[in-house]
């Protein structure tokens, strides 16, 4: 069979988790919590099953959940999405991203992707017949920055879509008002659409706010805004997410969605809708994860790892040049097999495997897990 994705292998997350298991390493590689979700959420899903919510929901998702999502976005970001025509529940953020790309990218259309980039964007653009246009973030002593002037220069009449990810995996970078202004200046007056991956929307630290595209009317009018309950409620295995977009965009999204998955599992949707009645779990998330970030950073402060800023997400990037001159993948494998702590090479987020001497740790772990990892890392 002629492969449609000849350059694609098994994802780095799967490979590093397997390696961590093989070596009995603390797995700070693949991003997922090692602690349970709120038992109340499990009860609410169980109750939904017992109450008989076990057949197909509506194609776009259970109305109770779409209403809860629209209300949350309205309260947090001030944009009133119509739950009937502008919100769709998806099988995790990944399906929302894939479906959004498939519904709007025509063969030959250019899609601007900012590297390092989450690994699903580029292959999906290729499956759609689109042409990925890669622009690399700049990384200096102050951390990573989006070079808006280079993004502006990458725009052509064929540019159809710009993929934005804030807070950003793997760098932890958070877009701020100046970024939003630069982005607005680039897209205003064009027909460029935005695919905004905001799965870490509730993980922004130090009192800063998340700049959702839905806060900014010029951007919201052309954006698919994607989020994931897996991240927000510590249930990555449930694979429930959503997309919000203006009705004309959503109509196209649903044409693909109905033949891609048709709909998303029913009891999770009802359970999550009930759980969303209380905003505390997501409002408390910044403090919850900031504690873990600070614990992890404090533990590495006197080590030979150099910490980069970590303003959002549950990832911490570090330079390891003072320890080793191995390429990133080899260094991450060495850390896993010899030091027994797994990490992700940031080079895996670049199509060309660009090396910056940086690896990513996930701190969405119990404090004891983090302490165990820190004990090992401090000795490197």
Instruction: Give the residues lining the site for ligand GLN (CB under 6 A).
Output: 11, 13, 30-31, 169
Q: Tell me the residue number closest to ligand GLN, measured at CB.
A: 31
Q: Which is nearer to ligand PMP, 20 or 93 (CB)?
A: 93
The item of ligand PMP, ligand GLN, none sharing an interface with residue 11, based on CB under 5 to 8 Å by kind, is ligand GLN
For residues 272-304, one letter each, b for 16 or more C-beta atoms within 10 angstroms of the residue's C-beta and e for the rest, the string is: bbbbbeeeebbeebbeebbebbeebbebbeebb
Q: Residue 255 Cβ, how far from ligand GLN at the closest point, in Å? A: 26
Nearest Cα to 94, choosing from 112, 76, 118, 63? 118
CA distances 254 to 73, 95, 299, 343, Å, are 20, 12, 47, 37
Interaction between residue 31 and ligand PMP (CB under 6 A): yes
Interaction between residue 88 and ligand PMP (CB under 6 A): no
Interaction between residue 93 and ligand PMP (CB under 6 A): yes
Q: Residue 169 Cβ, how far from ligand GLN at the closest point, in Å? A: 5
Query: Which one among 17, 228, 266, 269 touches ligand PMP, defined by CB under 6 A?
Result: 228
Contact 306, 318 (CB under 8 A): yes
Interaction between residue 173 and ligand PMP (CB under 6 A): no
**Token representation of residue 26:** 């603390």
Q: Which stretch binds ligand PMP (CB under 6 A): 91-99, 155-163, 173-181, 347-355?
A: 91-99
Q: Residue 221 Cβ, how far from ligand PMP at the closest point, in Å? A: 23
Interaction between residue 169 and ligand PMP (CB under 6 A): yes
Nearest Cα to 182, choosing from 198, 166, 171, 169? 166
- CA dihedral 207→148→320→199, nearest 10 degrees, is 50
Query: Which one among 130, 230, 281, 309 touches ligand PMP, defined by CB under 6 A?
Result: 230
Query: Which one among 33, 57, 61, 241 touches ligand PMP, defined by CB under 6 A?
Result: 241
Sign of the Cα pseudo-torsion (363, 365, 366, 371, in order): negative
What is the residue whose two structure tokens read 């494998």? 333
**Backbone dihedral angles phi then psi of residue 348, each to the nearest 5 degrees:** -65, -15
Interaction between residue 99 and ligand PMP (CB under 6 A): no
Quick check: helix, strand or coil at residue 116?
coil
DSSP-assigned letter for residue 338: I
Contact track, ligand PMP, 127-166, x by CB under 6 A: --------------------------------------x-
Contact track, ligand PMP, 100-119, x by CB under 6 A: ------------------x-
Q: Which is nearer to ligand PMP, 86 or 201 (CB)?
A: 201
What is the residue whose two structure tokens read 């820190």? 374
CB atoms within 10 A of CB 217: 11
Cβ within 8 Å of residue 373, ≥6 positions away: 26, 28, 341, 361, 365
Q: Which is nearer to ligand GLN, 30 or 124 (CB)?
A: 30
Interaction between residue 361 and ligand PMP (CB under 6 A): no
Q: Which is nearer to ligand GLN, 266 or 369 (CB)?
A: 369
The item of ligand PMP, ligand GLN, none sharing an interface with residue 93, based on CB under 5 to 8 Å by kind, is ligand PMP
Interaction between residue 94 and ligand PMP (CB under 6 A): yes
The item of ligand PMP, ligand GLN, none sharing an interface with residue 33, based on CB under 5 to 8 Å by kind, is none
Nearest Cα to 237, choosing from 202, 206, 280, 268? 268
Element (H, E) at 241: strand 241-244
Where along the sequence are the contacts to ligand PMP (CB under 6 A)? 31, 92-94, 118, 165, 169, 197, 199, 228, 230, 236, 239, 241
């Amino acid at each position: 069979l002629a492969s449609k994705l000849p350059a694609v292998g098994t994802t780095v997350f799967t490979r590093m988790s397997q390696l961590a298991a093989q070596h009995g390493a603390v797995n700070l590689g693949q991003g997922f919590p090692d602690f349970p979700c709120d038992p109340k959420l499990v009860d609410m899903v169980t109750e939904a099953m017992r109450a008989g919510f076990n057949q197909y929901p509506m194609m776009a998702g259970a109305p109770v959940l779409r209403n809860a999502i629209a209300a949350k976005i309205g309260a947090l970001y001030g944009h009133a999405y119509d739950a009937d025509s502008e919100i769709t529940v998806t099988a995790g953020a990944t399906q929302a991203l894939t479906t959004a790309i498939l519904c709007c990218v025509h063969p030959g259309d250019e899609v601007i992707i900012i590297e390092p980039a989450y690994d699903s964007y580029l292959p999906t653009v290729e499956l759609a017949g689109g042409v990925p246009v890669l622009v690399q973030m700049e990384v200096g002593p102050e951390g990573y920055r989006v070079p808006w002037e280079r993004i502006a220069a990458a725009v052509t009449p064929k540019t159809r879509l710009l993929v934005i990810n804030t807070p950003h995996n793997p760098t932890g970078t958070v877009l701020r008002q100046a970024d939003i202004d630069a982005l607005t200046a680039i897209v205003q007056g064009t027909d460029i659409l935005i695919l905004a991956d905001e799965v870490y929307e509730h993980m922004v630290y130090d009192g800063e706010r998340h700049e959702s595209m839905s806060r900014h009317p010029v951007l919201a009018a052309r954006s698919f805004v994607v989020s994931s309950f897996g991240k927000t409620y510590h249930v990555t295995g449930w694979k429930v997410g959503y997309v919000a977009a203006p009705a004309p965009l959503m109509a196209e999204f649903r044409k693909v969605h109905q033949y891609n998955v048709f709909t998303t599992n029913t009891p999770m949707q009802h359970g999550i809708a009930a759980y969303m009645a209380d905003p505390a779990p997501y409002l408390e998330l910044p403090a919850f994860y900031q504690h873990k970030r600070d614990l992890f950073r404090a533990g590495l402060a006197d080590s030979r790892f150099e910490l980069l800023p970590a303003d959002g997400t549950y990832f911490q990037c570090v330079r390891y040049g003072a320890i080793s001159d191995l390429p990133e993948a080899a260094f991450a494998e060495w850390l896993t097999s010899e030091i027994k702590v797994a990490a992700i090479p940031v080079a895996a987020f670049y199509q060309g495997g660009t090396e910056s001497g940086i690896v990513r740790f996930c701190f969405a772990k119990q404090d004891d897990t983090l302490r165990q990892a820190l004990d090992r890392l401090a000795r490197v």
